[in-house]
């Protein structure tokens, strides 16, 4: 009986650690994405880039192509393999930038 109580307490302790680890990992992924977006926004306003970016914003052909590319993506929970690959690329880029700047 005494061992069963230790076993039960150990199982309870382990089960509390798993959601916390998952939440921490999720928060790190969110931090990487937020870092990627912030740095991208910052660099898009860089003097060297702003003129070219403004030209692209005015280019209808580019905007149509970009919209077609974005139409292939989805923000739903169940992501297909292309969405997953793109998400992983973004996560890695965000992590690399996060690690470089911190």
* pLDDT tens per residue across span 5-51: 445 455 545 555 555 565 667 789 999 999 999 999 898 888 888 89
Of 46, 70, 50, which is closest to residue 58 (Cα–Cα)? 50
Q: What is the rounded CA–CA span in Å between residue 57 and residue 93?
A: 24
Asked if the model's pLDDT at residue 96 lies above 90, the reply is yes
Cβ atoms of 86 and 73 closer than 8 Å: yes
Residue whose tokens read 């923000």: 75
Residue whose tokens read 């739903």: 76
């Amino acid at each position: 009986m005494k061992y069963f109580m230790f076993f039960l307490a150990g199982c309870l302790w382990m089960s509390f650690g798993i959601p916390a680890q998952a939440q921490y990992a999720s928060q790190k992924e969110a931090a990487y994405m937020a870092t990627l977006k912030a740095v991208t926004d910052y660099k898009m306003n860089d003097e060297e880039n702003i003129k070219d970016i403004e030209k692209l914003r005015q280019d209808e052909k580019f905007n149509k192509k970009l919209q077609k590319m974005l139409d292939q993506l989805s923000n739903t929970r169940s992501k297909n393999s292309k969405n997953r690959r793109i998400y992983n690329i973004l996560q890695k880029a965000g992590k690399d930038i996060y690690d470089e700047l911190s």
